[in-house]
């Protein structure tokens, strides 16, 4: 199932910063791959998606963590929550809100 990705202002800024940094082209490629998997296959094994206990969305939503990298010092992660879904042409479109793109806290 395809999902729409929305970015919080801080997550969008982090992505734009990666896009501008030519020295992080490899990391940007990994982030884009992970975002693509979040759109199409949340159960992909490489994501290792799980709930992140110490963070909640703005309305108390559960926040989840997906791996961009593993076995790397300060490995990057993407944090997201489900919703808010939107309706288009009478059909509900599932949305994931990206909260943060960051090295593992």
Give the separation between CA 74 and CA 62, rounded to whole angstroms. Answer: 23
E strands along the chain, which residues?
A: 4-7, 50-56, 62-67, 76-82, 86-88, 91-93, 95-103
- pLDDT over threshold 70, residue 1: no
Candidates 47, 30, 104, 29; CA nearest to 74 is 104
The pLDDT of residue 75: 93
- What average pLDDT does the segment 20-31 reach? 94
The pLDDT of residue 72: 83
The pLDDT of residue 105: 67
Report the CATH number that the domain containing residue 78 is assigned in CATH: 3.30.2310.20
Tally of domains in the chain: 1
What is the span of the domain harbouring residue 15?
A: 4-103
Tell me the pLDDT tens digit for each residue of 32-87.
Answer: 999 999 999 989 999 999 999 888 888 889 999 999 998 888 899 999 999 888 88
């Amino acid at each position: 199932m395809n999902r729409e990705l929305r970015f919080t202002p801080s997550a969008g800024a982090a992505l734009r910063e990666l896009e501008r940094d030519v020295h992080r082209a490899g990391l940007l490629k990994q982030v884009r791959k992970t975002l693509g998997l979040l759109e199409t296959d949340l159960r992909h094994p490489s994501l290792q998606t799980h709930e992140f206990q110490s963070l909640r969305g703005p309305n108390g939503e559960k926040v989840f963590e997906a791996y961009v990298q593993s076995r790397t010092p300060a490995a990057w992660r993407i944090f997201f929550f489900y919703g808010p879904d939107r309706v288009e042409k009478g059909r509900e479109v599932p949305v994931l809100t990206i909260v943060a793109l960051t090295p593992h806290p």
